[in-house]
C-alpha cells in the first residue's frame, strides 16, 4: 500500500512533465516545420539560432 | 561544356547554344546568380541540393512581381520589423539553407527562417538599416520568387482548430495512458483479491486524471453535436458526446458509491482515438489547403497605375479605381477590365475563353482581367474593378452552381442519421425491459442501459471514414494531387462520366509547330531566326522547333502583325506578309515572306499533354464515358478529340453553356467529373459532381475545384479515381467491421454482462482493426 502511495504520484508527475514538455514545444513552434527540421540537420552551420523569445513562427 | 547534353550550372536546364553557353550558363541571370553564390562562399548549395525534375528550376526572371513590400512590414517592439513572404522554388533543405545564409549575411537582418513545409519565409530586420527590397534582392537574383502575405489572414480558423485538436489529443493521450495503467491494476486485482478500499483509491485517482481530460477533449465533439442538434439534425458526434458523458457520469457514480465498475479508461481512450482521427484529418486537409493558398498568393500580382501627372505606382488590383490609366507590360497578366487607349499588341485570353490562339488588340478593344498581354505594352483605361469585372460575374455564376453541391451528404453522415436514433432507442428499451418487465430496481437497470450506450459508442464507426480519408489523401499528395474538400474522394468514387476542357487541360495550353510538309528545313531556319526575337507564343513555338538557329539582327516587331528584318524577310499574319485572304486554316498559322520567293505557311496546333490519349483510354477501361467540352472553335475541338480518342465533343461553349451541359447531364442522372483549368471552366467545375483542376490553371478554377493536380501529365487523374474507389471500398469494409462489432457486443451489454474490461478490449480492438484496414491503402509509396 505504501508503495502505491508513492508510485502513483510519481507516475502522474512524470507523465505530467512529459505532457507539459509537449505542450511547451508545440507552443514554441517546434512542430511547425517537420520537413525542414529533418533537412536542417544535414547542414552543420551554427547560424541555426532558435527563434527570438515571443516569436510565433508562421 | 557546350555540348548538347550540357546543363546550365545554375538552373540545370539543358543549354542550347547562344550567348553565355561557353561558361556553362543558359542566360546572364543564371551566371550572375552563380557568381553571387560563389562570392558568398555558399557553393555547398550546388553539391547538396536535390532538384525535383518535375518542378521548374530556380531560374532568375528578368522582371519579377513588384508587390509592395512596405505594406506588409510589421513593426515590432524593440525597433525591429518583421515581414512574412511566400517563397516559390524552395524544393529541399539546401534551398532553405541557401536562402537563410544569404539573408543573414545582409546588413540589418536579425533573423531569417524558411519553413520548408509551408514554403514561407519569416524575416526580421532593423528598418532603419535597410529597406526590404534591398535585403531580398540576392534571394530574388538566385531565382526564388517572393510574395508577401498577411500572416494574420492566413492564420485561419482551421489552423487554430488544428492546433486545438493537437493539444486536446496530447492531454487525452496522457490521461489515457495513466488511467489505463491504473485500470490494469484494478483488473489484475480482480484475480488477486484486491480489497475494495484499494480499488476505490485507484478509481478516485483515475477520476482525478480522467475527468478534466474528458472535459477538455470532448469540447470539439460537444460543439459539433450541439450545432447539429440545434439545426434539428443528428450526426456522429451526438452519440459520441452522449456516450462519453454518460460513461464518465456513471463511472463517477460508481466510484462515489465504491462500486466495482468504473469505465474511465474506456471514456478517455475512446476520446484519444477519436482525436487522433480528427487531428490527422484536419492536418491532411490543412496541408492541401495550404498548398492551394500558396499557389493563389503567388498569382496575386500588382497593377501598374499611371497617375495624371505621369508618375507610376504599383497598386493591388482591388485598389484601382474606374477611369484610371493602367500600364500592362508585354508578357504580363491583365489585372482589371479596361479599354485599350494606347498601343497595339496580341492578347491571349485562353484562361477566359478557352481559345488557344492569341487575338490582336488595339485602341478601343476591351481587355478582361485574367488575359495575358503578349507582344507590346498597352495602356488601358480601367472600366471595371472588383465586383463589376467579367471575372466577378463568373465568380457569381460559380457560387450559384456551388449551392447544388452543398446538399451532398457524406456517407458517414448518412450512417449517423439512422445510427444515433437506433442506439438510443436500444438503450431506452433495455432500461424499460429490465426495470418494468424483469422487475429490476432502477439503478442497476440504468447501469445496464448506460453500458449499452458505452459499447455502442461509435468509436470504430467514427474512425472508419477519417482514417481512410487521411491515408488516401496522403497517398495522393505524394503523387501531386491535393484533395481540398472533405467529401471529394467519396464523390470521385461515384462518377460515371468525365468532361474535359480543352485548352490547358487536355492540351499543354501552348501551340506546337505542325510537321505538315508545307515547309522545308531552310524555310524553318529563316523563320526561326526572326522568331527567336519575339515572345509571341507562335513565334516561340517556331523558335523551339529550330533550337540551333542564329538569331537575326535588327528585327522589328510589329505588335499584332508580325516581325520584319532589314533584308526584307517578314514573318507574321496572312495580311502582314501580303497573302490574299484565302481559306481560313483549321488552326493558327504564321506566314514567312522572303524577297523573290513565294510565301510559306507554318501551321500550329495546341499539342495534347504527353499522356492525354493514354489517360482517355485508361478512363475508358475504368468504365467511364469521356466528353470534350471546349470554348474553342468546333473545328479545333474536333481535331483534338480525334487525336486523343474522344468521340463525344462540343466546341464553342461559353461558361454558361458549359454549366448548362453539366446541369443537363446531372438531370439525366449522370455523376460527372469535370476537369478544367480556365476562368471559363470555374462555374462548370462548381456545378459538376466533383471537379479537378491542374495546378497551373487560373486561381479561381483551382479555388472552385475539389482536387488540384500538379505536373505536366494527366496520369494523376486516373490514379486519383483509383484511390478514391479503393477508399470507398475500404470505408465500406470499415463500416461493416464496426457494425459487426456492435452486433456482437450489444447483446452482451443488453444481457448486463459487460464489465469495464470487456468494454475496453472490445473498443480498442475494433478501433485498431479499422485503422489497420485503412492502412492497406498506403501501398504505392514512392
Q: Is residue B64 very low, low, confident or very high in pLDDT (cuts 50, 70, 90)?
A: very low
Whether B765 contacts B745, CB under 8 Å: no
Strand ranges (E), A4-53: none
Instruction: List CB contacts (< 8 A) between A52 and chain B.
Output: 110-111, 124
pLDDT at A58 over 50: no
What's the rounded mean pLDDT across residues B758-778? 83
Q: Which strands form B345-348's sheet, in the order they lie side by side?
A: B359-361, B345-348, B372-373
The pLDDT of residue B725: 92
Distance from CA of A58 to the nearest CA of B (A): 7
For residue A2, what are the CA distances in angstroms to B141, B182, B187?
A: 70, 16, 20
Q: What does the pLDDT look like over B739-753, one tens digit per residue?
A: 888 888 888 888 878
Whether B488 contacts B707, CB under 8 Å: yes
pLDDT at B120 over 50: yes
Q: Is A26 close to B167, i.e. CB distance below 8 A? A: yes
Which of B101, B117, B155 faces A36 most closely, judged by CB atoms?
A: B117
pLDDT at B570 over 70: yes
Whether B761 contacts B744, CB under 8 Å: no
The pLDDT of residue B151: 66
Coil, strand, or helix at residue B649?
strand
Q: Is residue B207 very low, low, confident or very high in pLDDT (cuts 50, 70, 90)?
A: very high
Instruction: List CB contacts (< 8 A) between A19 and chain B.
Output: 170-171, 174
The structural domains of chain A, with segments of one domain joined by +, span: 1-44
Crossing angle of helices B196-230/A2-27, nearest 10°?
30
pLDDT at B118 over 60: yes
Q: Is A58 close to B154, i.e. CB distance below 8 A? A: yes
Proportion of chain B above pLDDT 70, given as a percent: 86
Say which residues have a Cβ less than 8 Å from residue B492's Cβ, sequence separation at least 6: B673, B690, B706, B707, B720, B721, B724
In terms of average pLDDT, the best of B19-28, B198-207, B273-282, B473-482 is B198-207
Residue B192: count other Cβ atoms within 10 Å of its Cβ: 7
Q: Is residue B217 very low, low, confident or very high in pLDDT (cuts 50, 70, 90)?
A: very high
Tell me whether residue B195 is exposed, middle or buried, using C-beta atoms within 10 angstroms of its C-beta: 0 to 12, 13 to 18, 19 or more: exposed
What's the rounded mean pLDDT across residues B123-140? 81
Q: What does the pLDDT look like over A18-55, one tens digit per residue?
A: 999 999 998 888 877 777 888 887 776 655 444 444 44
The pLDDT of residue B1: 38
Say which residues have a Cβ less than 8 Å from residue B341's Cβ, sequence separation at least 6: B325, B363, B379, B380, B381
Q: Is residue B499 very low, low, confident or very high in pLDDT (cuts 50, 70, 90)?
A: very high
Q: Which of B501, B589, B632, B681 is catalytic?
A: B501
Cell of B108: 540589418
pLDDT at B35 over 80: yes
Q: Is residue B58 very low, low, confident or very high in pLDDT (cuts 50, 70, 90)?
A: low
Tell me whether residue B121 is exposed, middle or buried, using C-beta atoms within 10 angstroms of its C-beta: 0 to 12, 13 to 18, 19 or more: buried
Residue A36: HSE in the Cβ half-sphere, 13 Å Cα cutoff = 22
Distance from CA of B171 to the nearest CA of A (A): 7
What's the rounded mean pLDDT across residues B283-300? 68
Residue with cell 515581414: B83
Q: Is residue A56 very low, low, confident or very high in pLDDT (cuts 50, 70, 90)?
A: very low
For residue B83, give the chain A residue with the closest CA: A58
Dist CA A23 CA B630 (whole Å):
53
Element housing B345 (H / E): strand B345-348
pLDDT at B188 over 80: yes
pLDDT at B193 over 60: yes
Crossing angle of helices B715-751/B756-775, nearest 10°?
170
Q: Is residue B721 very low, low, confident or very high in pLDDT (cuts 50, 70, 90)?
A: very high
Q: Is residue B252 very low, low, confident or very high in pLDDT (cuts 50, 70, 90)?
A: very high
Distance from CA of B117 to the nearest CA of A (A): 5
Q: Is B170 close to A33, i.e. CB distance below 8 A? A: no
Q: Is A32 close to B115, i.e. CB distance below 8 A? A: yes
What's the rounded mean pLDDT across residues B357-383? 81
The DSSP bridge partners found for residue B379 are B327, B342
What's the rounded mean pLDDT across residues B657-677? 89
Dist CA B655 CA B275 (whole Å):
42
The residue with greater pLDDT, B679 or B527, is: B527
| Domains of chain B and any CATH numbers | 69-154 (3.30.70.100), 303-388 (2.70.150.10), 470-508+609-725 (3.40.50.1000), 510-607 (3.40.1110.10)
The pLDDT of residue B153: 60
In terms of average pLDDT, the best of B51-60, B142-151, B348-357, B628-637 is B628-637
The pLDDT of residue B213: 94
Q: Is residue B15 very low, low, confident or very high in pLDDT (cuts 50, 70, 90)?
A: low
The pLDDT of residue B174: 92
pLDDT at B53 over 70: no
The pLDDT of residue B59: 63
Distance from CA of A23 to the nearest CA of B (A): 7
For residue A10, give the chain B residue with the closest CA: B178
Coil, strand, or helix at residue B692?
strand
Which of B84, B104, B115 faces A33 most closely, judged by CB atoms?
A: B115
Coil, strand, or helix at residue B59?
coil
For residue A58, give the chain B residue with the closest CA: B151
Identify whether B522 is a catalytic site residue: no
Proportion of chain B above pLDDT 90, given as a percent: 9
What's the rounded mean pLDDT across residues B197-202? 87
The pLDDT of residue B167: 92
Distance from CA of B688 to the nearest CA of A (A): 35
Which of B97, B122, B181 faces A43 most closely, judged by CB atoms?
A: B97
Dist CA B414 CA B234 (whole Å):
10
pLDDT at B4 over 50: no
pLDDT at B300 over 70: no
The pLDDT of residue B594: 83
The residue with greater pLDDT, B665 or B57, is: B665
**Ordered DSSP codes for B350-388:** HHHH---S-EEE-TT-EE-TT-EE-SS-EEEEEEE-GGG
Q: Is residue B530 very low, low, confident or very high in pLDDT (cuts 50, 70, 90)?
A: confident
Which of B97, B124, B178 faces A15 most closely, judged by CB atoms?
A: B178
What's the rounded mean pLDDT across residues B181-203? 85
Cell of B717: 487523374
Optimal mutation site among A3, A5, A42, A43, interface B, most CBs of chain B within 10 A: A43
pLDDT at B22 over 90: no
The pLDDT of residue B321: 81
CA dihedral B594, B596, B597, B598 (to 10 degrees): 100
Q: Is A35 close to B120, i.e. CB distance below 8 A? A: no
Q: Is residue B631 very low, low, confident or very high in pLDDT (cuts 50, 70, 90)?
A: confident
Amino acid at each position: 500500500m505504501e508503495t502505491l502511495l508513492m508510485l502513483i504520484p510519481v507516475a502522474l508527475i512524470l507523465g505530467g512533465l512529459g505532457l507539459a514538455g509537449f505542450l511547451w514545444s508545440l507552443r514554441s513552434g517546434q512542430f511547425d516545420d517537420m520537413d525542414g527540421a529533418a533537412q536542417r540537420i544535414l547542414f552543420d552551420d551554427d547560424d541555426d539560432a532558435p527563434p527570438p523569445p515571443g516569436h510565433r513562427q508562421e | 561544356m557546350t555540348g548538347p547534353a550540357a546543363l546550365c550550372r545554375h538552373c540545370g536546364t539543358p543549354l542550347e547554344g547562344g550567348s553565355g553557353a561557353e561558361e556553362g550558363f543558359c542566360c546572364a541571370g543564371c551566371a550572375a546568380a552563380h557568381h553571387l553564390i560563389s562570392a558568398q562562399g555558399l557553393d555547398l548549395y550546388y553539391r547538396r541540393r536535390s532538384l525535383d525534375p518535375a518542378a521548374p528550376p530556380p531560374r532568375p526572371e528578368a522582371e519579377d512581381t513588384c508587390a509592395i513590400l512596405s505594406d506588409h512590414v510589421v513593426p515590432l517592439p524593440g525597433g525591429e520589423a518583421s515581414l512574412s513572404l511566400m517563397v516559390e522554388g524552395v524544393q529541399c533543405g539546401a534551398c532553405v539553407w541557401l536562402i537563410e545564409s544569404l539573408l543573414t549575411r545582409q546588413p540589418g537582418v536579425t533573423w531569417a527562417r524558411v519553413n520548408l513545409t509551408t514554403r514561407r519565409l519569416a524575416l526580421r530586420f532593423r528598418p532603419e538599416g535597410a529597406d526590404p527590397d534591398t535585403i531580398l534582392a540576392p534571394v530574388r537574383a538566385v531565382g526564388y520568387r517572393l510574395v508577401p502575405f498577411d500572416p494574420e489572414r492566413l492564420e485561419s480558423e482551421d489552423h487554430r482548430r488544428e492546433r486545438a485538436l493537437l493539444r486536446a489529443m496530447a492531454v487525452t493521450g496522457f490521461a489515457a495512458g495513466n488511467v489505463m495503467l491504473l485500470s490494469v491494476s484494478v483488473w489484475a486485482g480482480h484475480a488477486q483479491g484486491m480489497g475494495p478500499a484499494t480499488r476505490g483509491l485507484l478509481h478516485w485517482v483515475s477520476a482525478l486524471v480522467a475527468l478534466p481530460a474528458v472535459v477538455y477533449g470532448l469540447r470539439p465533439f460537444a460543439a459539433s453535436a450541439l450545432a447539429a442538434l440545434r439545426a434539428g439534425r443528428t450526426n456522429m458526434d451526438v452519440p459520441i458526446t452522449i456516450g462519453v458523458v454518460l460513461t464518465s457520469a456513471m463511472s463517477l457514480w460508481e466510484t462515489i458509491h465504491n462500486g466495482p465498475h468504473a469505465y474511465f479508461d474506456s471514456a478517455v481512450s475512446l476520446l484519444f482515438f477519436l482525436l487522433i482521427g480528427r487531428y490527422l484529418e484536419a492536418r491532411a486537409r490543412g496541408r492541401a489547403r495550404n498548398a492551394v493558398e500558396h499557389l493563389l498568393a503567388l498569382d496575386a500580382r500588382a497593377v501598374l497605375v499611371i497617375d495624371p501627372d505621369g508618375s507610376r505606382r504599383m497598386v493591388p488590383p482591388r485598389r484601382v479605381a474606374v477611369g484610371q490609366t493602367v500600364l500592362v507590360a508585354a508578357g504580363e497578366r491583365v489585372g482589371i477590365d479596361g479599354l485599350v487607349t494606347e498601343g497595339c499588341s496580341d492578347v491571349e485570353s485562353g484562361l477566359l475563353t478557352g481559345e488557344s490562339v492569341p487575338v490582336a488588340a488595339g485602341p478601343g478593344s476591351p481587355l478582361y482581367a485574367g488575359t495575358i498581354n503578349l507582344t507590346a505594352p498597352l495602356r488601358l483605361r480601367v472600366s471595371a474593378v472588383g465586383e463589376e469585372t467579367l471575372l466577378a460575374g463568373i465568380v457569381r455564376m460559380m457560387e450559384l452552381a456551388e449551392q447544388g453541391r452543398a446538399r451532398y451528404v457524406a456517407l458517414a453522415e448518412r450512417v449517423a442519421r439512422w445510427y444515433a436514433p437506433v442506439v438510443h432507442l436500444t438503450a431506452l428499451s433495455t432500461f424499460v425491459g429490465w426495470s418494468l418487465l424483469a422487475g429490476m430496481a432502477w439503478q442497476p437497470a440504468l447501469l445496464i442501459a448506460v453500458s449499452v450506450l458505452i459499447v455502442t459508442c461509435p468509436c470504430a464507426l467514427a474512425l472508419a471514414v477519417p482514417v481512410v480519408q487521411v491515408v488516401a489523401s496522403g497517398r495522393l499528395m505524394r503523387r501531386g494531387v491535393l484533395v481540398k474538400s472533405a467529401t471529394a474522394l467519396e464523390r470521385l468514387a461515384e462518377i460515371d462520366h468525365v468532361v474535359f476542357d480543352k485548352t490547358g487541360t487536355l492540351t499543354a495550353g501552348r501551340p506546337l509547330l505542325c510537321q505538315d510538309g508545307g515547309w522545308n528545313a531552310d524555310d524553318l531556319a529563316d523563320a526561326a531566326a526572326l522568331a527567336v526575337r519575339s515572345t509571341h507564343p507562335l513565334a516561340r513555338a517556331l523558335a523551339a522547333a529550330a533550337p540551333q538557329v542564329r538569331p537575326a539582327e535588327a528585327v522589328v516587331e510589329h505588335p499584332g502583325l508580325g516581325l520584319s528584318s532589314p533584308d526584307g524577310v517578314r514573318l507574321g499574319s496572312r495580311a502582314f506578309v501580303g497573302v490574299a485572304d484565302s481559306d481560313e486554316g483549321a488552326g493558327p498559322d504564321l506566314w514567312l515572306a522572303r524577297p523573290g520567293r513565294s510565301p510559306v505557311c507554318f501551321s500550329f496546333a495546341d499539342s495534347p499533354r504527353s499522356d492525354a490519349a493514354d489517360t482517355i483510354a485508361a478512363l475508358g477501361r475504368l468504365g467511364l464515358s469521356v466528353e470534350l467540352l471546349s470554348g474553342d472553335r468546333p473545328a479545333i475541338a474536333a481535331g483534338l478529340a480525334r487525336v486523343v480518342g474522344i468521340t463525344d465533343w462540343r466546341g464553342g461553349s461559353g461558361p454558361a453553356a458549359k454549366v448548362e451541359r453539366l446541369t443537363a447531364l446531372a438531370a439525366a442522372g449522370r455523376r460527372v467529373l469535370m476537369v478544367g483549368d480556365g476562368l471559363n471552366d470555374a462555374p462548370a467545375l462548381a456545378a459538376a459532381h466533383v471537379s479537378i483542376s491542374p495546378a497551373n490553371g487560373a486561381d479561381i478554377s483551382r479555388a472552385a475545384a475539389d482536387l488540384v493536380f500538379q505536373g505536366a501529365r494527366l496520369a494523376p487523374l486516373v490514379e486519383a479515381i483509383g484511390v478514391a474507389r479503393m477508399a470507398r471500398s475500404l470505408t465500406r469494409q470499415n463500416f461493416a467491421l464496426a457494425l459487426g462489432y456492435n452486433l456482437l457486443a450489444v447483446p452482451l451489454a443488453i444481457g448486463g454482462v459487460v464489465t469495464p474490461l470487456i468494454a475496453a478490449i472490445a473498443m480498442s480492438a475494433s478501433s485498431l482493426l479499422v485503422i489497420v484496414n485503412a492502412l492497406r491503402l498506403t501501398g504505392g509509396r514512392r
